[in-house]
Structure 1
Amino acid sequence: MTHPIAAIILAAGKGTRMKSDLHKVLHPIAGRPMLLHLMASVDELNPAKKVVIVGDKADQLESALGGTADLAVQEPQLGTGHAVQQAEAALAGFDGDVLILYGDVPFVPAATMQAMIDRLNAPDAPAVVVLAFEPADAQQYGRVITDGDRVTKMVEHKDATEAERAVRLCNSGLMAAKSADLLALLARVTDDNAAKEFYLVDIVNIANADGRHCAVVKTDPYDVAGINSRAELAAMEGEWQARRRVQAMADGASLIAPETVWFAWDTVLGRDVMIEPNVFFGPGVTVADDVKIRANSHIEGASIAAGCEIGPFARLRAGTILEEKAKIGNFVETKKAHLGQGAKANHLTYLGDVTVGARANIGAGTITCNYDGYFKYQTVIGENAFIGSNSALIAPVKIGRDAIVAAGSAVTIDVADGELRLVRGEQLVKPGWADRFHDAMRKKKAGK
């Protein structure tokens, strides 16, 4: 029998160590706020309720969540137990399993959450399930003292004996409990401690004192790593990227210098993709099979079909669509650009708000002039068109199929199919003028 699931996510802390005007849990990893990484994992369990406990910068969290979770305010902030209690009103009438998570612990897998729920519903019916881990260095973590998988005691590092400190199993802070048990246990937690705070961990000891038992589920330290500072944020980004690179290669992509490639949380790569050094993927990139991405390219919000070649030194911005075997070369920038099959822009070009037909060739230095300071306009380039070097296509404008725009042209009027358009000023030739100019200037400089 399955039970409805609720998730309580604690995110009321001030995050002072970040020294930021942005809420701590909204700092991104792989281009996605850490809180939204966690919420995506929660959503895999199809929860009936999601409650985010907010405090400082609550308006930022409300905006980021966009109505996908209930918010409960913790003010004043009197500890983790007190924070969870603030969800009581939002959970009124809820009868099921409750997960307690932390907004600054973003990479708890959905499978681990499910393991906690499964253990909570095992035949021996534990009152609380604690998620624990074994770090390489236990540092100042609270310890989980166990007998088998039953928790006999939870103890903070500062209160632990030497024997207890020798235990490597540490408390992540994440828990699961039945809603009725959780609220009843929290009501009995006191602030009888040096910090005068209500600690969530006390519900385990209270349940044990009642003669009930609590259980532990173990997980990898990476899954429960908390982020409290810029340095920890960078370290977690590095670890996430390292794992993603390994996954990319396992899935059939080649990374020449893996440590120099940076992925976004949603990057999709096909098979036999070749990625040269120093490539950065922003959010929203899909790459099909047999694509070559050359060095020092920056790609975001782009869809790249099979057989395309990108770079080196290319920038693909949001709304770029490349069909099969299209090519974007060095120092080319695209934005809302749709290139048809086999179309190419090999050098020094800006393509914005443009549709380029199949097999069209865009010469070096071409610019689609898409903005007049107030509005954006479209350029349409037909199949097999040839745009000569250093051309300015001043939108809105249409270049027809098989048309040729001569190098150096500034095109303001549509070009018909098969037409040649040449827009240049008349060349004026004055033989000997340069020689006479140089002679005069040299004499002037010499003071003669």
Structure 2
Amino acid sequence: MTTPIAAVILAAGMGTRMKSDLHKVLHPIAGRPMLLHLIDSVDALDPAKVVVVAGARREQVEAAVTPLGVEVAIQAEQLGTGHAVRQAETALAGFEGDVLILYGDVPLVTTETMRAMVDRLHGAGEPSVVVLAFRPADPAAYGRVIADADGRLDKIVEFKDASPEQRAVTLCNSGLMAVRSADLFRLLGQLTNTNAAGEYYLTDLAELAGKDGRGAVVVETDAAEVAGINSRAELAAVDASWQAKRRVRAMADGATLVAPDTVWFSFDTQIGRDVLIEPNVFFGPGVSVADGATIRGFSHIEGATVGEGAEVGPYARLRPGAVLGEKSKVGNFVEVKKATLGKGAKANHLTYLGDAEIGAGANIGAGTITCNYDGFFKYKTVIGEDAFVGSNSALVAPVSIGAGAIVGAGSTVTQDVEADALRLVRPPQETKPGWAKRFRDMMRVKKAAK
């Protein structure tokens, strides 16, 4: 029988180093708040309960996690990490199982690592506490994990309380733990605040577990997985780490990235096989790119669907609601918003298509715009299959261009065009021989008289 799992995520800190009105754990990585990245990884374990412990700006945290079914416990006073976990006791009343203790500002911990922590809790010796540790390139001021060669843990010492010998240890504490619910709050009740900071350290659970009999053990992971975020610079570094892994996955799945370090993915970007992505492409949230598509350089895509074999860019912008059909093409300096291009439809350059439906095989000439907004409401433009819209045309919505119709270059179309018709909206052209010369001569005389 599988033991139920609960997670307690600590997110009560002020986050003052971020210098932001937004709660630290809500700052985004790849377009998604870091806290929600962590909750996604927890959700893969099918937890019985997830509790976020919040303090400052708790209303922001509640707004972000309550719709996900996550409960919020409040730490009104900042009395240390051990005190913070105790605030989840009411929320976990009656829960019998394993409890993961995580940090909202340590968002890249994988489901696999969480599972390894829980599994070790039920492994050899059935320890009371499992501590996740890592070996950073520079241990700096991290708390040190004092353990034997078998991973049996003696104690965790905060850097400011550590002796020179203990500071020489390279195994560091991530702060993450796994503890049986039957042990957790009993051990927390034994914590004291007799330390340099006068706080109730969660890390003291390791030493208490040793006195309890079953002791504590260590599970090690890579330092990048437990990177914490306390500043904008650290946020950028963690985002860069996430991006690097996502690029590798995209290429492993069959996409070609010409200059991988210049491509930026969102948390939910979907990329098919044989997709070619040129340098300096940005994917915002909600993008799906089908097999065989080409995304040329300097394109910005968000909330859009790119069909099989379609081509985007260079220097194109696809905004939310853009749907490009099979083998359609959106070229340089074309912007598409809430518009659908049918199979093989083309808008090759210098065009805005908003609130529009463009049929298969239609061709939209350079400089064409759909005039979809009157300052109060948005209106739709419908362009039929195989229609041809000449360059520098303005289609004033609501308007419909029939299948196979042709709109002459430079037209301002305010009325529907029937199928296979030609619509010309141009003033008659008139030529006045010699007029330009006479005008210049007259103006020169006037200028000379001044």
TM-score by length of 1: 0.98
- Residues 86-129 of structure 1 deviation map (CA, whole Å, 9 limit, x = unaligned): 10111111111100000000000001001111111225211011
Q: What is the distance in 1 between the residues matched to 2:138 and 2:259?
A: 31
| Alignment map for 1:20-419 (pairs within 5 Å) | 20-68=20-68, 69-147=70-148, 148-419=150-421
Q: Which amino acid aligns with 2:352?
A: Y
Pairwise CA distance, 1:424: 2.0
Pairwise CA distance, 1:369: 0.9
Are the equivalent residues in 1 in contact too, given 2:55–2:74 (CA < 8 A)? yes
Q: Which moved more, 1:95-104 or 1:140-149?
A: 140-149
Q: Label 1:353 to 1:174 Cα distance change in 2 as closer, same or farther (>3 A).
A: same
Q: What is the distance in 2 between the residues matched to 1:314 and 1:111?
A: 39
Match of 2:330, SS state, is strand
Q: Which amino acid aligns with 2:48?
A: A
Q: What is the distance in 2 between the residues matched to 1:374 and 1:403?
A: 30
Q: What is the distance in 1 between the residues matched to 2:127 and 2:426?
A: 83
Match of 2:202, SS state, is coil
Q: What is the distance in 2 between the residues matched to 1:383 and 1:86?
A: 63
Q: Which moved more, 1:250-259 or 1:414-423?
A: 250-259
Match of 1:201, SS state, is helix
Q: What is the distance in 2 between the residues matched to 1:122 and 1:104?
A: 28
Q: Which moved more, 1:250-259 or 1:306-315?
A: 250-259
- Residues 408-448 of structure 1 deviation map (CA, whole Å, 9 limit, x = unaligned): 11111111111111122333433322211111222222236
Match of 2:347, SS state, is strand
Q: Which moved more, 1:71-80 or 1:268-277?
A: 268-277
Q: What is the distance in 2 between the residues matched to 1:194 and 1:261?
A: 46
Q: What is the distance in 1 between the residues matched to 2:196 and 2:353?
A: 63
Sequence identity (%): 67
- Residues 194-220 of structure 1 deviation map (CA, whole Å, 9 limit, x = unaligned): 322111011111111233311111111
Match of 1:177, SS state, is strand
Q: Which moved more, 1:37-46 or 1:185-194?
A: 185-194
Q: What is the distance in 2 between the residues matched to 1:141 and 1:442?
A: 81
Match of 1:238, SS state, is helix
Q: Which amino acid aligns with 2:163?
A: T
- Residues 244-270 of structure 1 deviation map (CA, whole Å, 9 limit, x = unaligned): 222222222222222211111111111
- Residues 149-171 of structure 1 deviation map (CA, whole Å, 9 limit, x = unaligned): 21112111222233322221110
The answer for unaligned runs of 5 or more in structure 1 is: none
Q: What is the distance in 2 between the residues matched to 1:246 and 1:430?
A: 66
Q: What is the distance in 1 between the residues matched to 2:300 and 2:266?
A: 12
Displaced runs of 4+ in structure 1, greater than 3 A? none
Q: Which moved more, 1:187-196 or 1:356-365?
A: 187-196
Match of 1:67, SS state, is helix
Are the equivalent residues in 1 in contact too, given 2:125–2:214 (CA < 8 A)? no
Q: Which moved more, 1:417-426 or 1:372-381?
A: 417-426
Q: Which moved more, 1:417-426 or 1:364-373?
A: 417-426
Q: What is the distance in 1 between the residues matched to 2:358 and 2:16?
A: 50
TM-score by length of 2: 0.97
Q: Which moved more, 1:252-261 or 1:89-98?
A: 252-261
In structure 2, the partner of 1:421 is 423
Match of 1:328, SS state, is strand
Are the equivalent residues in 1 in contact too, given 2:71–2:91 (CA < 8 A)? yes
Are the equivalent residues in 1 in contact too, given 2:155–2:204 (CA < 8 A)? no
- 1:441 equivalent to 2:434? Answer no
Match of 2:247, SS state, is helix
In structure 1, the partner of 2:8 is 8
Q: What is the distance in 1 between the residues matched to 2:234 and 2:447?
A: 63
Q: What is the distance in 2 between the residues matched to 1:153 and 1:82?
A: 19
Match of 1:290, SS state, is coil
- Name the Cα RMSD after superposition: 1.2
Q: What is the distance in 2 between the residues matched to 1:439 and 1:177?
A: 95
Are the equivalent residues in 1 in contact too, given 2:269–2:286 (CA < 8 A)? yes
Match of 2:53, SS state, is strand
Q: What is the distance in 2 between the residues matched to 1:58 and 1:293?
A: 41
